[in-house]
């Protein structure tokens, strides 16, 4: 089995290192990851300059582009085979609810999915996590299960509690919850006509009840949410046709 790995925390991050150690036991890996932290980059592509790809060894590369750049370049020009899976992570924090819109981790997996490859986005369920080995083992478990019973190209958003592996309370298939609005931007230095701002912290869960990814993590269960790239609000199509008087 061949797996393409990327992330958004950079190729030297602890999360991707744990993932590589564990998945090396069960598969052949090719790693193409950003050269630095690119968290929050979503599905952005670099179109205003050439992207530099640096080689660590025959199966490990890093780029000066985004996570989406990494997967796109890997699958359309860098490697000469189609991997069986794309795995992005392990992210150094959660990607639940609205986080998925902004996440570079999810975006890298989304790019694999859009190119018709089953893809996993793997994230720790809390900030400043320590138990990356737990997430790596859960990912390996899911890959072994996938090998026994494959499914059509699907994107799974996986969040794993920051606990020892033995303390996990199982796996739950969830939907994305929703957060309150983010905290206000924080004003920093101001100099003449220039002002620096920091983006405010993400909001607390607003829709985090049973069945959501937030609730699963709160109850020490692995959250798996199938997601896709179709942003169409299908329920509103009829309303829009009536609004515009289109038959």
pLDDT in tens, 156-178: 999 999 999 999 999 999 999 99
Give the single-character DSSP code of 166: G
Q: What is the mean pLDDT of the chain?
A: 96
Q: State yes or no: pLDDT of 6 exceeds 90.
A: yes
Residues 6+ apart with CB under 8 A from 237: none
Q: What is the pLDDT of residue 203?
A: 86
| 184 within some domain | no
CATH number at residue 40: 3.40.1210.10
| 193 within some domain | no
State pLDDT tens for residues 13-56. 999 999 999 999 999 999 999 999 999 999 999 999 999 999 99
- How far is the CA of 121 from the CAs of 118, 184, 227, in angstroms? 10, 28, 10
| 135 within some domain | yes
- Based on the structure, what is the number of domains in the chain? 1
Q: State yes or no: pLDDT of 247 exceeds 80.
A: no
Q: State yes or no: pLDDT of 108 exceeds 90.
A: yes
| 100 within some domain | yes
Q: What is the pLDDT of residue 174?
A: 98
| 132 within some domain | yes
Which burial class, exposed, middle or buried, applies to 185 when counting CB atoms under 10 A from its CB (0-12, 13-18, 19+)?
A: exposed
Distance in angstroms (rounded) separating the CA atoms of residues 56 and 58:
7
Q: Which residue has the higher pLDDT, 89 or 192?
A: 89
| 194 within some domain | no
Q: State yes or no: pLDDT of 204 exceeds 90.
A: no
| 140 within some domain | yes
Q: What is the pLDDT of residue 67?
A: 98
| 159 within some domain | yes
Task: Provide the domain limits for residue 18.
Answer: 2-179+205-243
Beta bridge partners of 33: 62
Q: What is the pLDDT of residue 34?
A: 98
Which burial class, exposed, middle or buried, applies to 136 when counting CB atoms under 10 A from its CB (0-12, 13-18, 19+)?
A: buried
| pLDDT, mean of residues 208-221 | 97
């Amino acid at each position: 089995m061949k797996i393409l790995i990327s992330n958004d925390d950079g190729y030297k991050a602890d999360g991707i290192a744990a993932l590589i150690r564990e998945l090396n036991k069960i598969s052949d890996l090719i790693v193409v990851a950003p050269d630095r932290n690119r968290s929050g980059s979503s599905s952005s592509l670099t179109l205003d300059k050439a992207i530099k790809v640096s080689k660590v060894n025959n199966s490990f590369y890093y780029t000066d582009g985004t996570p989406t750049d990494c997967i796109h370049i890997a699958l359309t020009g860098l490697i000469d085979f189609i991997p069986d899976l794309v795995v992005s992570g392990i992210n150094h924090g959660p990607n639940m609810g609205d986080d998925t819109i902004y996440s570079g981790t999810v975006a890298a997996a989304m790019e694999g999915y859009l190119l018709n490859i089953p893809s996993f986005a793997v994230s720790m369920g809390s900030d400043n996590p320590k138990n990356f080995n737990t997430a790596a083992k859960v990912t390996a478990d899911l890959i072994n299960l996938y090998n026994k019973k494959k499914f059509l190209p699907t994107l799974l958003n996986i969040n794993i509690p920051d606990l020892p592996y033995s303390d996990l309370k199982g796996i739950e298939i969830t939907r994305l919850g929703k957060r309150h609005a983010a905290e206000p931007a924080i004003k920093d230095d101001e100099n003449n006509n220039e002002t620096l701002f920091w983006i405010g912290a993400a909001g607390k869960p607003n829709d985090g009840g049973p069945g959501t990814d937030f609730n699963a993590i709160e109850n020490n269960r692995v959250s798996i949410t199938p997601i896709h790239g179709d942003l169409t609000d299908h329920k509103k199509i009829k309303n829009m046709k009536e609004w515009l008087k289109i038959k």
